[in-house]
Structures are given as C-alpha cells and as structure tokens.
Amino acid sequence: MKTEVILIHNIVGLGGESDQVKVAAGYARNYLFPQRLAIPLTQVNKRHIEALRQRRAEREAHEFNTMTELSKALSKLICLIKVKAGEDGKMFGSATAGMIADELKHQFDISLDKKKIHLEHPIRALGDYEVELHLHPEVKGTLKVRVESLTPAAAPAPETAAPVEPKKEGGREFKRERHTYTKRDAKAEKDQQPEKAQKPEAAGEKKPHAAKGEKTAKPAKAAKAPKAEKAE
C-alpha cells in the first residue's frame, strides 16, 4: 500500500525538500515520520510547501557557491600520496578514492566525500595524475595527485671520466687536456738545446780522392844503422 508524503529534507534516491512522493505506508510510518524527514500530504501540510521550496532554493544556491569555490581551491593543490613500491617503481597495492580523501583531510584540512572523487580505476603506478571531481550536479573539478614511493630511490653512482690516453705526434707524447704540443713548441725546444760539436767528417761525406796520374808520396824508410866492426 502506497501513501503520499511531503519531504522536508533531501533524501538521496527519493527527492528533495518540498517534493511530493509516494512511498510504502510502512516505510513512511516507521522511518520517515519518526525521523522527521517527511510529513503526510494533507491540506494543512500543503501550506508548508512554499516555505520548503524557498528553503531548498537557498540551500542549493549555498551548496553551488561553496562547491564552486572549493573546485577553484582544489585545482591549485597537489595531493601527495606515499605508497610502498619496489626498486623498479612497481606499487604494492593501489591508491584509491578513500586514500585521496584521507590525505586531503590530513594535508589541507578539507573534508570531501570519497564518492565525489571520480576514479575510473585505482591508481597502480607511481607518477602524477589529474583526478576528476564531481562536487555538485552542476560543478565539476580536477585535483592533481602525486603518488610517490615511501622508499626514496637510490642515487645513481657518479660517472667516472675515462682516462685520456696520451696522443703520440712526431715521436712525442703529450696530454691534450693539459697542453697542446705544437710545431712552435718543438722549435723553441730545439733552440734551447746546446749545439753538438760538428764531427770532422759529416755522415755521408766521401774522402777526397787524389787526382789521376798523381801518386801519393810514401814516407821514406828510415836508414839502417851501420854494423859495428868486429875487433881484431
């Protein structure tokens, strides 16, 4: 059996203030009336409909303005969520709408129903995300969410520069990073060295030959000493 009632409070799935709805008689008698969420539809109670509509309009306008301001504020924030992750960055578990709502309350003291945080699927990887918010039937917004690992990543080892091998040029070794050995340096070094004494005969020079027909004089042999005469 159904009965008509006038709602005096907003009831999700049923209606808002001043709405006339039909509900089960037992539901109205045992829940709506005792909780003062509705009143029976009578000629006397119909007089309250205009007052209820006015109150509803004011409430909805207030909610709209509040959610609009909240949307602007949330769009400037970054909600940080710390999760357990392996060295490869893979998360253990996932970040949910409930975790985001908890962190908004903890970090910014903003109370937001997790049902207003619209996630198509839980976040399962580290990184930055832009989450859609359904704050009001006419107000939507976005929130930046950053998911980081509880364990800081190990700093990479500093790269050691490869040793520069000395380059050989013209039989000389030098290191390019300290000084570039040039021809001018070689010449200056040569000028500073003491000159070597010239050999009487330069390498490769041939001895002069005597002119043809001329014989070289041989040194005379020493005269032999006379033999001593034997004594008689």
Digit-coded pLDDT (tens) for 139-157:
999 999 999 988 765 545 5
pLDDT of 231 reads 44
pLDDT of 1 reads 83
Nearest Cα to 118, choosing from 143, 94, 93? 143
Quick check: 166 pLDDT over 90?
no
pLDDT of 168 reads 53
pLDDT of 167 reads 57
How far, in Å, are 2, 6, 12, 59, 173 from residue 38 at the CA level? 14, 5, 13, 17, 100
3 state SS of 22: strand
The two structure tokens encoding residue 157: 């080892």
pLDDT above 70 covers a percentage of the chain that reads: 65
pLDDT of 44 reads 83
Quick check: 211 pLDDT over 90?
no
- Going from N- to C-terminal start, the domains of the chain cover 2-70, 78-149
Per-residue confidence at 116, pLDDT binned at 50, 70, 90?
very high
pLDDT of 30 reads 93
Average pLDDT over residues 78-87: 89
pLDDT of 170 reads 53
pLDDT of 32 reads 92
Quick check: 219 pLDDT over 70?
no
Listed range (83-97, 114-128, 194-208) with the worst mean pLDDT: 194-208
Residue 104 vs residue 93, higher pLDDT: 104
Judge residue 188's burial from the number of C-beta atoms within 10 Å of its C-beta, 0-12 exposed, 13-18 middle, 19 or more buried.
Answer: exposed
What is the DSSP code string of the chain? -EEEEEESS-BTTTB-TT-EEEEEHHHIIIIITTTTSEEE--TTGGGGHHHHHHHHHHHHHHHHHHHHHHHHHHTT-EEEEEE-B-TTSEEEEEE-HHHHHHHHHHHH-----GGGEE-SS-EEESEEEEEEEEEETTEEEEEEEEEEESSPPPPPPPPPPPPPPPEEETTEEE-TTT----HHHHHHHHHHSPPPPPPSS-TTPPPPPPPTTPPPPPPPPPPPPPPPPPP-
**CA pair distance 94, 124, nearest whole angstrom:** 5
Per-residue confidence at 86, pLDDT binned at 50, 70, 90?
confident
Average pLDDT over residues 101-108: 95
Q: Is the pTM of this model over 0.85?
A: no
Quick check: 77 pLDDT over 90?
yes
Q: In CATH, which superfamily holds the domain spanning 78-149?
A: Ribosomal protein L9, C-terminal domain (3.10.430.100)
pLDDT of 232 reads 37
What mean pLDDT is reported for the chain? 77
**CA pair distance 5, 113, nearest whole angstrom:** 29
CATH 3.40.5.10 given to domain 2-70: yes
Listed range (18-22, 45-49, 122-126) with the worst mean pLDDT: 45-49
